[in-house]
Chains A and B, each alone.
Chain A
Amino acid sequence: MSDRNGRGGESDGAGAANTLTLDGMEVSFEPGETLYEIAERHGKMVPTLCYDERLEPFGGCRLCIVELEGSRNPVASCTHRAEPGMVVRTHTAHLETHRRTLMEMVASENREVDVDPLSGYASQEMATLVDRYDARTGRFAGHRSGVSRPDDDNPFILRDYENCISCYRCVRVCAEQEGDYAISVKNRGFETRITVEFDGLLKDSACTFCGQCIQTCPTGALADLKALANRDIPGETEKTRTICPYCGVGCSVDVMTRGDTIVGVQPAMDGPANEGALCVKGQFAFDFVQHPDRLKTPFVRGDDGELRPATWDEALDRAADGLGNVVRKHGRHAVYGVASGRAPHEAAYMMQRFMRAGLGTHNIDNCSRA
């Protein structure tokens, strides 16, 4: 709040001076905040292609430029920290013209702008901005800037660099978010190529196939091959927020489905444990759930000693009889329950409840000792 309103004294001493003028409105900010963050907070929809809020600001795409009074040129708002008294404009005609030119330029270097949304979490950013700036003009046509790698036979990550705009989000997410430093950039200028050590295949590099690069790529140049394999399944893609089924870190994921089919997984950027990170298992090893090997019916052991399919009624009765007989012959402590460390709470809780409330024994354990 500004001092004009006589309320400046209510905020803490340091904060009182931390105001600037954003598109004519006086706004306050936290020390260290960037102009982009402040503009976002006020819903300014400043465009960007190289920004990922989890990463250090890079300042590459220059779409987030804003006018700063006293500065000869516009400044990149993502890298520019706020200072008291700044006067900032986010959407002047000049800025919008430059942004449109930039979008036309960046559209001119790619084979295609429109990619399947299954490509990755951020894959629609480029096409969305091209449309927002009405940049399908075909101007600035010329050479394309990337060379795709169809020779990389890995089953997870598409490397279609003919759609790469060299925003370095993949390079930076691999270093800053994942800590793998597998992806790097070779050459310079228009010859810039996203690559890995010695230009090799991902599997021969430091890549761990965590999939972070495909999720941050704004053009679908790096894309989720497992999800794209399901692109022909009809229906809208829906997302369900849940937790990864693998280790104990508890990463939040969005399971993507079309109809009753799981078509892919994307990390939840606001997942409290993972903040958008995943590993190869959480990202790509989801399809076991709908594998043909799944048990689809109960089984009971027949007189011939072989397991055979059965109805629920038959299986439940057989199980109840079998356990009941043991209790009758050997007592309730002759039965032992093992709960899963994989199933949800309700399974483990019910298993111990079965043993304690049902049978009256503490013969219950889980698989944590293995």
Chain B
Amino acid sequence: MAGSATNEELLARWRDEPAPLLPLLHAFHDRDGFLSEDALRHVADGLRIPLADLYGTVTFYHHFAREPGGRGESRVCVGPVCRQRGAETLAHALEARGERVARMPCPGRCDEPVPVLRGDLVVTGPDAEHLSNGPTPLPAPPASTAADPRSGGFEECVFRHIRDPGRATLEGYRATGGYAALELALAAGPGDVIDTLDASGLAGRGGAGFPTGRKWRAVAEADGGAKTVVCNADEGEPGCFKDRVLMDHDPFATLEGMTLAAYATGATLGFIYLRYEYPETIGILEDAIADATDAGLLGASILGRDGFDFRIHVRRGAGAYICGEETSLLNSLEGKHPFPRNRPPFPVTHGYLGRPTVVNNVETLCSVPPIVRKGAEWYRGLGLGDHSGTKVISLSGDVRRPGNYEVPLGLPLRTLLHDWAGGPSEGRAVRAVTMAGLSGGFIAGDDLDAVTLDEPSVRSRGSFLGAGGIMVFDDSRDMVDVSHSAMEFFAEESCGKCFPCRIGTQRLTERLNGGGPRDLAEWLDEVTDLEATMKSTSACGLGQAAPLVTESLRRYFPEQIERHLTERRPDE
């Protein structure tokens, strides 16, 4: 939309589109550089949303500026890795250059610290003087040379073709097997697709790990009007940047996965809910959707099949971690306050606008076409031991070769850390790693050598693999400080709906930052009670997972806690 579009033109553009609120807000935000009172009044009138609700909802999102010029600020990542890599120094340097600087939580560029978001560009570089925009780094090729310590001949699933030249074009995608799965599926029938997924053991790769076949079957069997497929591309977990590389370098895989989901479930409407911090990805996806539509791979009568209609709309988030939680995401799409919904009922029966809805993560959807094409047995065989398939790990922090790695489930953590990623820098040892981005807390000590990358092994250590973000901290890092910044993130991102999370993340943050009891026993008493109640009673995964940070801190680093309490400044 042109920068000079009138309020009425913006409204007319979006009013009758599905899920119009976010794109309409972005349109005003892009045009004006912030969301003015006048803009909100127009949007409220145009979409018939109560003004107070709209105001409240806008304030929920991190990236909607309410002051003139706010959108133009330089937003510097202060996520867990970037904090260790000079984020504050960079922010001060930018301020010294006269830029308006804001701090933002992890925008999913942990492989290139420290990213800065300026308008619709992400720039990175060694210092404030040398920031530039570049493409998302590709995953390192497996076993490129004989000298490469990475070996074992593990076959990839979602990364199999991502490095192939031209893969991001429709032509290149089809040349490397793309859309063969959809053609096979059309020949076999929707039931076969779901049966194959069931047999493959594929489970959600966004963190929750729900069996994909079961989810699709539930939607296929659910009553109700226009079914919907939502691709959860709100990759907000700190330390996770795998979906970005999949969308940027293999966008048609996501589209084909969604189209297969639509075919299997009978859905006609599709959304990709993309996190705000991936501005370059919007254009890539929208171009891919246009090309696929032109080629008859989206839209009406896909591949000539009468009645197989499916359209995909990209919706950009606005900076809210909780919107990666699927029911918050649905509320966000619907223009509501993005609180998680109470479950049951689940999205498979009561999703977008109360209709049956598939919500799948990008990686999950990208896994589907190869599985359909090569079969369930093939996929099961990709894992080690009893484990089915692969998982992309976003590895960052204190290792020599950070990046995305597609590992066979069951791979020992230390193999990934040391053989594949080159281990910590010279003279350092790994002190701890996070799991599930931040949500799984830490793994440290002897567990670093013992744990394998699969849910049973990780969960047996009080953590979980989740979306597969692993941040590495070497022995120079203060783990109470790391924990504090992690908990501060959860406190800032807590939606505020349920008491244990809203209050608990705040109280734990304070206790990791010099607040709370001075006495160790009292401190531990409060912290353990908070953890127990948060884990058991929080309404969604955020509040249930956040206490894993302090729980693992207590388990692995009691002496650091004691030092923290001893050295804390006296109370005012």
Contacts and interface: CB of A to CB of B under 8 A. Distances in A.
Do any CB atoms of chain A lie under 8 A from CB atoms of chain B in the complex? yes
Interface of A: 49, 57-63, 65, 73-74, 76, 79-81, 94, 97-98, 101-102, 105-106, 108-109, 139-143, 145, 165-166, 168, 175, 181-192, 195-199, 205-206
23 contacts: A59-B539, A60-B498, A62-B537, A74-B536, A80-B344, A101-B529, A101-B532, A140-B507, A143-B510, A145-B503, A166-B499, A166-B502, A183-B52, A184-B56, A186-B56, A186-B60, A188-B60, A188-B492, A188-B493, A188-B495, A189-B491, A190-B494, A195-B52
A341 B532 CA distance: 62
B537 A185 contact: no
B537 A142 contact: no
B86 interface: no
Contacts of A196: 52
A140 B502 CA distance: 13
Interface in B465-494: 491-494
Contact of A102 (B494, B497, B533, B539): B533
A79 B536 CA distance: 16
B201 interface: no
Contacts of B502: 145, 166, 189-190, 192
Contact of B526 (A139, A190, A205): A139
Q: Which of A142, A165, A175, A206 has the most CB atoms of chain B within a 10 A radius of its CB?
A: A142
A105 B503 contact: yes
Interface residues of B, number: 46
A165 B499 CA distance: 8
A206 B507 contact: no
A264 B510 CA distance: 42
Contacts of A197: 51-52, 55
A96 to B, nearest CB: 12
B319 to A, nearest CB: 11
B52 A206 contact: yes
A302 B46 CA distance: 66
A181 B498 CA distance: 21
Contacts of B50: 175, 181, 184, 206
A60 B55 contact: no
- List the 7 closest pairs (A to B, CB-CB), nearest first: A181-B50, A184-B56, A192-B496, A189-B494, A79-B342, A184-B52, A190-B506
Interface in B521-561: 526, 529-530, 532-533, 535-539, 544
Given A101-B530, A142-B515, A198-B55, A188 B537 contact: no
A208 to B, nearest CB: 13
A175 B53 CA distance: 10
Given A76-B539, A187-B59, 9 more contacts: A60-B499, A73-B536, A98-B536, A143-B510, A145-B502, A145-B503, A165-B499, A190-B502, A205-B52
A329 B53 CA distance: 69
Nearest to B338: A188
Contacts of A97: 532-533
Contacts of B505: 189-190
Contacts of B57: 184
A197 B491 CA distance: 25
B270 interface: no
A189 B51 contact: no
A190 B491 contact: yes
A98 B537 contact: yes
B52 A182 contact: yes
The interface residues of chain A, by DSSP majority, are classed as loop
Nearest to A83: B344
Q: Which of A49, A108, A185, A205 has the most CB atoms of chain B within a 10 A radius of its CB?
A: A185
Interface of B: 37, 40, 50-53, 55-57, 59-60, 320, 322, 337, 342, 344, 491-500, 502-507, 510, 515-516, 526, 529-530, 532-533, 535-539, 544
Contact of A189 (B55, B495, B532): B495
A330 to B, nearest CB: 62
A106 B504 CA distance: 10
B344 A142 contact: no
Contacts of B495: 188-189
Given A143-B506, A188-B495, A73 B515 contact: no
Contacts of A106: 499, 503
Contact of B492 (A98, A101, A189): A189
B320 A188 contact: yes
Contacts of A206: 50-52
Contact of A140 (B52, B337, B493, B530): B530
B503 A140 contact: yes
Contact of B56 (A59, A139, A195): A195
Nearest to B60: A188
Given A105-B504, A190-B503, A166 B496 contact: yes
Given A105-B499, A105-B530, A206-B51, A142 B320 contact: no
Given A102-B533, A106-B503, A76 B342 contact: yes
Contacts of A59: 342, 497-498, 539
A105 B51 contact: no
Contacts of B538: 62
A188 B318 CA distance: 14
Nearest to B51: A197
Contacts of B491: 189-190
Contacts of B492: 188-189
A185 B59 CA distance: 9
A98 B532 contact: yes
Contacts of A58: 342, 497
Nearest to B527: A140
A105 B507 contact: yes
A213 to B, nearest CB: 12
